[in-house]
């Protein structure tokens, strides 16, 4: 339906609107000193968010639930075992029914097609809590963290070393929309989807897809990675392919002297990153995790007000 503000992917929302959401996230984290009105404190009073989880979650679940409640709203949490989705009801029928009960739906699932189907049939906003292809809420929190630590996003160089997964894909979307330089280093066999790389090359001259992590990281303001094996996607050879992409102290030394390290968590120390890096002084992983709360508030506000 027209007029509904879905938050599905960063490439589906105008860059000006994304900037507005990001600025709102910053304001929620550091509100103005003047006394806010009751409306500003509780803008989602009387509204309910349904959170549907096909995949488990720590940060997505807690940040959305706390965000919604702090904004004055309420939540209903559902898993496949809690609903008829686990017994064969269609996504479309679930979307139609939930739309009669709640004001917005957050879906965390495997297949992007399920998210798209939910959005097609829902008459309330649908938010992408994660799919196999993208994780836009995470990268909005990452961008908040980048700007807090390093300044305006468009002035930064971000390097990714590791699997070309859903988080990497959302970084590509973000680089086009916010105009920063992005270097994605992955094994040839684990690159982002060809269609995404072609789209990025059409829309930006500041995005590079590499196989050499050192070339990607050199002089970067931010180095990011993610776990090598996530939620059962181990093909048996991933560790061998990704071993050269581990973010170590040596790799970080090739970045800018004041570079930060980011990881969306959960992390496996000794695999995609060493303990010395993620627990070291350059790590922004914990600010990044906190910023999921503030970014989620901004996304909910944008969708529902």
> Would you name the residues annotated as active-site residues?
108, 135, 138, 226, 264, 292
Q: Quick check: 304 and 44 in contact, CB under 8 A?
A: yes
Q: Quick check: 113 and 102 in contact, CB under 8 A?
A: no
Q: Nearest 5°: phi and psi at 77?
A: -110, 130
Q: Quick check: 190 and 235 in contact, CB under 8 A?
A: no
In terms of phi and psi (left: phi > 0; alpha: psi -120 to 50; beta: otherwise), the region of 275 is: alpha
Strands (E), the chain: 48-53, 74-79, 104-108, 126-130, 157-161, 181-185, 207-210, 222-225, 260-263
- Triad 212, 195, 263: Cα angle to 5°: 50
First to last CA, the chain: 17
Token pair for 213: 């992590």
Cβ–Cβ contacts within 10 Å for residue 274, how many? Answer: 18
Q: Nearest 5°: phi and psi at 106?
A: -110, 125
* Closest to 159 (Cα-Cα) out of 252, 67, 269, 59: 252
* Closest to 49 (Cα-Cα) out of 129, 106, 122: 106
């Amino acid at each position: 339906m027209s007029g509904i503000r879905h938050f599905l992917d960063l490439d589906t929302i105008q860059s000006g609107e994304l900037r507005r959401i990001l600025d709102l996230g910053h304001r929620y984290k550091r509100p103005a000193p003047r006394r806010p009105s009751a409306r500003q404190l509780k803008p989602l009073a009387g509204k309910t968010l349904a959170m549907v989880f096909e995949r488990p979650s720590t940060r997505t679940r807690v940040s959305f639930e706390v965000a919604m409640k702090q904004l004055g709203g309420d939540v209903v949490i559902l898993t496949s075992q809690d609903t008829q989705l686990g017994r064969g009801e269609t996504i479309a029928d679930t979307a139609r029914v939930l739309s009669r009960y709640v004001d917005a739906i957050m879906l965390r699932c495997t297949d992007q097609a399920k998210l798209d189907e939910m959005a097609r049939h829902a008459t309330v906003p649908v938010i992408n809590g994660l799919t196999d292809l993208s994780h836009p809420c995470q990268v909005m929190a990452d961008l908040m963290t980048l700007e807090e630590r390093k300044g305006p996003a468009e002035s930064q160089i971000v390097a990714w070393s590791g699997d070309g997964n859903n988080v990497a894909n959302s970084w590509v979307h973000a680089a086009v929309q916010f105009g920063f330089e992005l270097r994605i280093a992955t094994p040839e066999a684990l690159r982002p989807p060809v269609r995404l790389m072609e789209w990025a090359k059409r829309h930006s001259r500041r995005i590079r897809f590499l196989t050499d992590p050192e070339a990607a990281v050199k002089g970067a303001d931010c180095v990011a990675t993610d776990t090598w094996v996530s939620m059962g996607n181990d093909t048996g050879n991933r560790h061998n392919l990704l071993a050269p992409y581990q973010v170590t102290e040596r790799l970080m030394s090739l970045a800018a002297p004041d570079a930060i390290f980011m990881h969306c968590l959960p992390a496996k120390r000794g695999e995609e990153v060493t303990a010395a890096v993620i627990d070291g002084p350059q790590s922004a992983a914990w600010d990044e995790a906190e910023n999921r709360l503030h970014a989620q508030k901004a996304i909910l506000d944008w969708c529902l007000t």
